[in-house]
Amino acid sequence: MSKLFPAYRASWETDQHRELRKHAAEFLSKEATPHQERWARQHQVDREFWNKLGNAGLLGLDLPERFGGTGGDFGYSAVVAEELALAHDSSSGWIVHSPIVAHYINTYGTEEQKQRWMPSIISGDAVLAIAMTEPGTGSDLQAVRTTAVRDGSHYLINGSKTFISNGTHCDLLVIVAKTDPSQGAAGTSLIVAETDDRLVGFERGRVLEKVGQHGQDTRELFFTDMRVPAQNLLGDKEGLGFYQLMEQLARERLIIAAVCAGMAEAAVLEAIRYTKQREAFGRPLIKFQHNRFELAELKAETLSIKTTVDYCIQHYIDGNNDPATASMAKLIAADKAVDIVDRCVQFFGGYGYMMEYPIARAYAAARVNKIYGGTSEIMKEIISRSL
């Protein structure tokens, strides 16, 4: 149940979703919130945190029960995405692992691949990452330069990737590579690398110093004649990668929108709490009309984000995986959440600029939501095609 909107209930939210929300909130308040500053200093979460997530049943929420998952709908992932933000988490790579990369394998993997990988994905024994972005290639995925050349029963992969979330901990890496560079988008494939210490030619580069999300292990990755079994190709033939990406990116954008809804709500809750406690000129900050009116406006705008995102989640659950609708959710949620968090910082004065305060970490973490998963400008381009 929302603390900011106690009576609010999304159309898609069932009693099972509400129970999950309570469970996730309790788990994260114990296992994630207290460790944010330490994880930020070490630039990664504890490896055992992934197994704790698995033991808590939070890694297979909408994955098949036969592999150990819950078999729920997309709303299960949306609930946890919101609760991560409400728990002031900016370190874990849960979003990349569970609602995003796991579904590439679940959707396009062979039965043998799923039998081999899915139980470990759901238990947390195998951490997932996806290698899309390259030093010279961002949203234009047709322009990737990493190559995968067939060599007998293996692919030889050469290239480099950057901004890779879960880059330190990943055990399974979905790589976007060109299997036929002459074919443009039609020559792109997705290949899964099992990135253990025995994988010759695989190198984890430096941990990147980001503006925010300091506890997230974001790295550069390098491939030099890296041999990956040809049976690790996702899909029944080469050249399907670009279309697989386009199908799944709508899901990615919608889960980012859910995070943004949670970030906005968390920021407003923090601002209300602080203005009730902090005094100036002999009275609490919330007693000043300007502050009350600003908080009222922020609360109303947060509700507008939630209703927009929840409409799009219902659209997705109903089977309408529409890229334009998901892009609208991400565009509105990301832009408004950045603005709301920024305005909430102002109530804290100098303390809002100190990283020990959750509001400061949220301010630093929020901005990237307008960039990754497709920039706001790309969202507008996708939406414009539906006009």
Residues 83, 28 contacting (CB under 8 angstroms): yes
Structure tokens at 214: 């300091």
The DSSP bridge partners found for residue 229 are: 154
Query: In whole angstroms, what is the distance from residue 55 CA to residue 51 CA?
Result: 6
- Given a cut of 70, whether residue 192 has pLDDT beyond it is yes
Domains and CATH numbers, the chain: 15-126 (1.10.540.10), 129-239 (2.40.110.10), 242-385 (1.20.140.10)
**Residue 286 banded pLDDT, cuts 50, 70, 90:** very high
pLDDT at 351: 94
Q: What pLDDT shows up at residue 139?
A: 61
What whole-number percentage of the chain has pLDDT above 70?
99
Q: In this predicted structure, what is the pLDDT of residue 1? A: 65
pLDDT at residue 321 in the model: 79
pLDDT of residue 158: 97
Alpha-carbon distances, residue 193 vs 33, 167, 202, 226, 229 (angstroms): 32, 13, 9, 9, 8
Average pLDDT over residues 126-146: 84
Kindly tell me if the per-residue pLDDT of 141 is higher than 80: no
Mean pLDDT calculated for residue range 325-337: 96
Question: Of 31, 220, 252, 265, which one is the catalytic site residue?
Answer: 252
In this structure, the chain runs to a length of 387
pLDDT score of 163 more than 80: yes
**Cα dihedral 353, 354, 355, 360 in deg (nearest 10):** -30
With a cut of 90, say whether residue 75 has pLDDT above it. yes
Query: pLDDT exceeding 90 applies to what percent of the chain?
Result: 90
Tokens 């995003």 correspond to 100
Q: How far apart are CA 220 and CA 369, in angstroms?
A: 20
CB neighbour list of residue 330: distance below 8 Å, 6 or more residues apart: 253, 254, 256, 257, 260, 369, 373, 374, 376, 379
pLDDT at 33: 97
Is residue 237's pLDDT more than 80?
yes
Whether the pLDDT of residue 295 is over 90: the answer is: yes
Whether 216 and 155 have beta carbons less than 8 Å apart is answered as: no
Rounded-to-integer distance, Cα 69 and Cα 299, Å: 36
Which of 117, 187, 185, 184 has its CA nearest to residue 149? 187
Q: Which of 158, 166, 169 is nearest to 134 (CA)?
A: 158
| 350-380: burial string, b at 16+ Cβ within 10 Å, e else | eebeeeebbbbbbbbbbbbbbebbbbbebbe
The amino acid that residue 233 corresponds to is L
Helix or strand run (H / E) with residue 196: none
The yes-or-no verdict on residue 347 having pLDDT over 80 is yes
Taking a C-beta distance cutoff of 8 angstroms, is the pair 264, 302 a contact?
yes
DSSP assignment string, 309-339: HHHHHHHHHTT---HHHHHHHHHHHHHHHHH
Query: To the nearest 10°, the Cα dihedral for 138, 130, 202, 169?
Result: 120
Q: What is the mean pLDDT of the chain?
A: 94
Give the model's confidence band at 322: pLDDT under 50 very low, under 70 low, under 90 confident, else very high.
confident
Question: Active-site residue 238, yes or no?
Answer: no
pLDDT score, position 197 = 82
Give the pLDDT of residue 183: 87
Confidence of residue 137 (pLDDT cuts 50, 70, 90): confident
Confidence of residue 140 (pLDDT cuts 50, 70, 90): low
Give 82-113 pLDDT, tens digit per residue: 999 999 999 999 999 999 999 999 999 999 99
